[in-house]
Amino acid sequence: MSHGVKLTLKAREDDLASLEALVGSMLDQVETKFEGELDVDE
């Protein structure tokens, strides 16, 4: 029983890590886009 729980927690940690990476890359793209627009405005 506890072995299955550990596997589930590990899978959840992996999902969370990949989700964080995805969100991080999206934020980088948005940041770059806005920085580009700000540079154009100046």
Note the pLDDT of residue 17. 96
- Dihedrals phi, psi of 8, to nearest 5 degrees: -65, -45
- Spatial distance between the Cα atoms of 42 and 40, rounded to a whole number of angstroms: 6
Task: Tell me the per-residue pLDDT of 1-42, one tens digit each, with 9 for 90 and over.
Answer: 577 788 899 999 999 999 999 999 999 999 998 888 777 665
Place of tokens 């969370």: 16
**Domain limits at 23?**
1-42
- Spatial distance between the Cα atoms of 39 and 24, rounded to a whole number of angstroms: 22
Q: What pTM did the predictor assign?
A: 0.58
Question: Considering its fold, how many domains does the chain have in total?
Answer: 1
